Chain A
């Protein structure tokens, strides 16, 4: 920031209006995306049933033709045994989360992804135009944290889709993004403005952007951990011979794969969060005269850090695999959400610049 604030460039109000308009359009587009992802889950139930039947038939042919030994590799459909959903799901979704032969049979998911690109571009325009309207980074108040954070979630997700088939969390992600955009526009409508002096620092670029990115990753691993718990419970039911009540979960990889994936994401986001806290302390030292003062925001950042540290320990050294460590990660994310909403809005502290 220039030392002479009289020279702050004036706000471009027209561009600011366009930004708000596009944010609304993006929110509507995400709603449509959400619907298509949900349709995909519903429709895939049917597709999978058909594929099961086809696979069963093929197995029987093979068994008759070649004897049992040669098909034992995939462990699929030994004579007399019903095809177990988990077995087949191994075949239609990969535990490495790569694209499989089911991919071609998910037209709704393809439409959803294409629409999500459109929504993301509208959203991206809204965020970037706001930055240009204000001549600064677009994260200076609650409205901007939420809309920019949502954009990061959306972009990260779409990029990862190039490499991994994570369409099974599509409805969670598009739902989350929609929710964030709606609460930003309804809960914290904030016209474009200059930054208050306390925020005029290069650290806002670093500290906030890394915090937002880390939170986006925490959100993704949270989704994985929730699915892991559901998958775990479902597998237990199936193992005891009960009926599978959640057949769409067959689009989702196994509990172990989800757990590992969530863990890997959490290692990255934990490092980023550590950096966020350190950068925050450096900034606080420059702006408030102390690097750490147990301001409510600082308290909760610390709590989040400790909970995720606990999670990493529990898994790496404590031998807490399975649901137990998943719960820690879920609690961690709930703390992230709490820090971002309740603490910003209701707790009085130095961070109360949030524009609420």
Chain B
């Protein structure tokens, strides 16, 4: 870091930089620690708007709604990409700059550390007293275990080696000594951490561009065969090709919900969703029965199928004015509350002489209240009832504009059934048929099924990301909690006495340096007969 700074200053002083010089200057600035720190904090700030404004990637409908409600501010916010913060130009710019800065910082550090790994521990300082943890111990002569000089050096070498130090014996003008260093792995951990962050980003990018996501609603009894046409909506990555879709199929046999029936506080709250499905890995293989649950996706040929929603699908049959069946099948309804009062909309463009439209609610367990209005009293289908209004006329489907299937456009239609009309609303229990007024047809409530909403997701980046994230965590732990420190032990002759001097130096944060000094003293004490002296004051009470 310091070196970078100095370079930056020199470059700044130079009168004419030229192109290469300018680029080098920019590079030095970008990879300096203050810049990296600034970018890092900027990234934190830049992430915040995405939690305040609705995001297209997660809730496109909410964004549309927001734009309608804020006609002035909305378009401005949109211009600044506030509804797609995490793919916005400015957010991308910040993290890309940060990662460039990261690369610029890591590369020299890797080079430097590779060299450090091959370099012996540094020269023994002449004045060890100046170092933070300094101790001097006198050797008692004449004892049976009094060591000679060679013995001292040899023992020290072994002791430090055993404690994980890289050790080197020295002999110079001031005497014999041992130099040691440990904790090279701290820097390796640090580099691993930063490189793994790059890995996470790269894997996320690759996963996004080669993956895809899709949604599909599946009613009991239906089969989903994986192919583009089978999806209700599909979002491919930029490098996705339709040939990549594996041809598996999933059939929904039955969907079960368990509701809480014991607790008075949570009566009716769902406590379990289970979809019983049959999975075929490909067209030729045998179906296998499996369970799909909220925290238990199906994992098929690399793609994952998730259970993300559910509801009721009433099966209805509509006959038109000529007596022909113009609609027959399950109709997906949208639950509105905890007792599954469900909104349903049915468009019957094939009916003649008039197109027909229905909208209303499904009540799974209909009860009639005091006000004579039916409501649902339970999420389970104990007494299912359809309450519908009907319309005839132009459904507006020919205009070519995409229409929301859950919204009936009644602009060009006339009301046929409604509580306020003479004919009244339609109220159908299971198995019943209602004849529409004016001989326009009939509607039958045949059956009630459940459906599940599935998310299908294929992301080849998942596994690499998990691996890089794990490595990052490992690197982080190593770099945070392995101390890097140096020790020098010196044998000196002073006033005819032989003394052992030693000192420790931390490289980076090292709260346990003092404890190591005390530990070493204990070990030396055990190895040789020593009269302890002049300890560094701090070392006593560690």
Q: A271–B480 contact, CB under 8 A?
A: yes
Residue in contact with A289 in the complex, picked from B34, B272, B306, B481, CB distance below 8 Å: B306
Q: Is B432 an interface residue (CB 8 A)?
A: no
CB-contacts of B493-521 with A (<8 A) = 508-509, 511
Give complex CA distance A10, B274 in Å: 19
Across the interface, do B37 and A310 meet the contact criterion of CB distance under 8 Å? yes
B313 at the interface (CB under 8 A from A): no
- With CB as the reference atom, state the residue of chain B lying closest to A201: B295
Task: Decide yes or no whether B265 CB sits under 8 A from chain A.
Answer: yes
Give the distance in Å from the alpha carbon of A73 to the alpha carbon of B213 in the complex. Answer: 71
How near does chain A come to B484, taking the closest CB pair, in angstroms? 12
Whole-angstrom distance between the Cβ of B467 and the nearest chain A Cβ: 11
Q: Measured between C-beta atoms, what is the minimum distance from B153 to chain A in Å?
A: 34
Binds A, one of B12-20, B441-449, B471-479: B471-479
Q: Which residue of A lies closest to B480 (CB)?
A: A267
Which bucket holds chain B's interface residue count?
A: 35 or more
Q: How far is the CA of A83 from the CA of B535 in the complex (A)?
A: 28
Tell whether B55 is near chain A: CB-to-CB under 8 Å: yes
Is A196 touching B509 in the complex (CB atoms < 8 A)?
Answer: no
- What is the distance, in angstroms, from A216's C-beta to the closest C-beta of chain B? 19
- Are A3 and B271 interface neighbours, CB within 8 A? no
Q: Of residues B36, B266, B472, which shows the largest number of chain A Cβ atoms within 10 Å of its Cβ? A: B266
The proximity string for A residues 183-200 relative to B, scoring 1 for CB distances below 8 Å and 0 otherwise, is 000000001111111101
Residue of B nearest to A285 (CB): B462
Docked complex Cα distance between A268 and B293 (Å): 36
Q: Specify which of A13, A194, A285 is in contact with B269 (CB 8 Å cutoff).
A: A194
- Structural contact, A307 and B473, CB atoms closer than 8 A: no
| B65 interface contact, C-beta 8 A | no
User: In the complex where A193-B265, A264-B511, A294-B55 touch, is A289 in contact with B293 (Cβ < 8 A)?
Assistant: no
Report the bound CA distance from A286 to B297 in whole Å. 6
- Are B508 and A316 interface neighbours, CB within 8 A? yes
Are B476 and A294 in touch, CB under 8 angstroms? no
The residue on B at minimum CB distance from A96 is B541
A314 to B457, CA, bound (A): 39
How near does chain A come to B146, taking the closest CB pair, in angstroms?
33
- Asked if A300 is at the interface (CB within 8 A of a chain B CB), the reply is yes
- C-alpha spacing A293/B274, complex, angstroms: 25
Tell yes or no: A240 within 8 A of B by CB.
Answer: no
Chain A residue with Cβ nearest B472: A274
C-alpha gap A114/B53 in the complex (Å): 49
A290 on the interface (CB 8 Å rule)? yes
Asked if B293 and A294 sit within 8 Å, CB to CB, the answer is: no
B271 touches A194 (CB 8 A): yes
Instruction: Give every chain B residue within 8 A of A302 (Cβ-Cβ).
Output: 44, 47
Q: Judge if B188 is at the interface, Cβ distance under 8 Å.
A: no
Over the window 234-278 of chain B, the binary record of Cβ atoms lying under 8 Å from chain A Cβ atoms (1 yes, 0 no) is 000000000000000000000000101011011001111110000
Across-interface contacts of A287 in B (CB, < 8 A): 294-295, 306
**B272 and A11 form a contact (CB under 8 A):** no
A289 and B308 contact, Cβ closer than 8 Å, known pairs A11-B263, A193-B263, A193-B265: yes
- B58 near A293 (CB under 8 angstroms)? yes
Interface string of B286-309 (1 = CB under 8 A from A): 000001011111000000101010
Chain A residues with Cβ below 8 Å from B477 are 271
